[in-house]
Structure 1
Amino acid sequence: MLQGYRPQLRYLLLDEGRYNDVELGESQNLVSALFQLENSRSTEDIQAVLERLIDWLKEPSQTSLRRAFTVWMRRVLLPAKKAPKVELPPLTDLHEVHTMLAERVKQWAEEWKEQGLREGRQEGRKEGRQEGLQQGEAETLLKLFKLKFGEVPDWAVQKILEADKAQLDSWVELILTADSVESLLG
């Protein structure tokens, strides 16, 4: 009864992942250029496609297509793939995108490299502090062992030095009630 109202849709699936760069480069159409831009891995790839688009869309009647590609690249492609967290200048034409990429790519690479170095240093400092705290806790535990039990066997020293923070915390809490090194460390 309601089947007459059910939409009857047909569609054509375009799977951009099924085409390789060679196939896309050989066909000269806007869809292949769009797929190449989507699949690009470097700014050099983007610039090569841009040069072809500029050549293909040079007629005055194609101004709206140039503008559409420019807006899509500024709002979608570059922020998502190539220039995350980078403020892009207003761009109105493919020539401007091409020029901007040529000028800014080196700057972005340096900024990303510096950002990576800063993040790496911060991560290294954090890990270093944690390792230092853990090593200090192990040394304190060894001192407590010596004070309570006298000489600490080599196997116990090794076990303490290899223990993680949670295990060290547990032993520090239990050392006051332990009867021997063996009973505490197992």
Structure 2
Amino acid sequence: MELSSASEVKNTILPALITWFNDVPQTSLVRSVEVWIECMAKRRGEPASFTFDSAEEITDMGRKYATWAEEFEDIGFQKGSEKGKAEGRAEGRAEGQLSALRGVLTHLLHKRFGDLPEAAVQRIAAATQADLEQWCQRSLDAPGLDAVFHSEAASA
């Protein structure tokens, strides 16, 4: 039923269930199916109760549930889209912070030591945030550019 169109549910599935339930009365099974249909309706935001006794409700199924499978797919798509947007924003912020840190370090090193060699520029461009933060710290009191990038020289 979840993967069927509303017209298929209304015209084929529900009549077949009603016929079967009339031929083989199983009160607990009927109630379970009714509860299941109600749960699907609630997930769609339609809290109306459902019973097999109501022919009007069965007829109305076509109007209420245009295509259940499509709606459940839309719900999944919306949740995935929201999650993707949130992850994208977080990634963008992180990349922006990393870019800003690279710019600060490059500017600071240029002020202290003059034009930077291409190897230093490339190293900054490829560095992780942890490396950049460490190099910023070292650049404050390093005697030279080598001391900024090499831990042995900085600790000596």
For the superposition of Structure 1 and Structure 2, which TM-score range results when normalised by the shorter chain? Answer: 0.5 to 0.7
1:121-179 CA-partner distances (Å, limit 9, x unpaired): 23212211210111111011011111111121222111111112222122112211112
- Equivalence for 2:109: 145
Q: Which amino acid aligns with 1:159?
A: R
Q: TM-score, normalised to structure 2's length?
A: 0.65
- Equivalence for 1:43: 3
Q: TM-score, normalised to structure 1's length?
A: 0.56
Structure 1 vs Structure 2 CA RMSD: 3.4
- Equivalence for 1:92: 50
Q: For the structure 1 residues 154 and 164, does the alpha-carbon distance in structure 2 shift closer, same or farther, using more than 3 Å as the test? A: same
Alignment partner of 1:181 is 2:145: yes
Q: Secondary structure at the match of 1:61?
A: coil
The counterpart of 2:121, out of the listed 127, 143, 157, is 157
In structure 2, C-alpha distance between the alignment counterparts of 1:143 and 1:181, rounded to whole Å: 13
Uncovered stretches (5+) of structure 2, i.e. residues with no partner: 151-156
**Greater alpha carbon shift after TM alignment, 64-73 vs 139-148:** 64-73
Q: Secondary structure at the match of 1:159?
A: helix
- Equivalence for 1:110: 74
Q: Which amino acid aligns with 1:146?
A: H
1:58-110 CA-partner distances (Å, limit 9, x unpaired): 437224321123325655xx69xxx9x654634434686xx466643323322
Q: How many residues align?
A: 135
- Whether the 8 Å CA contact 1:178–1:184 is kept in 2: the answer is yes
- Identity over the aligned pairs, expressed in percent? 26
Q: Which has the higher contact order (CA 8 A, sep 6+)?
A: 2
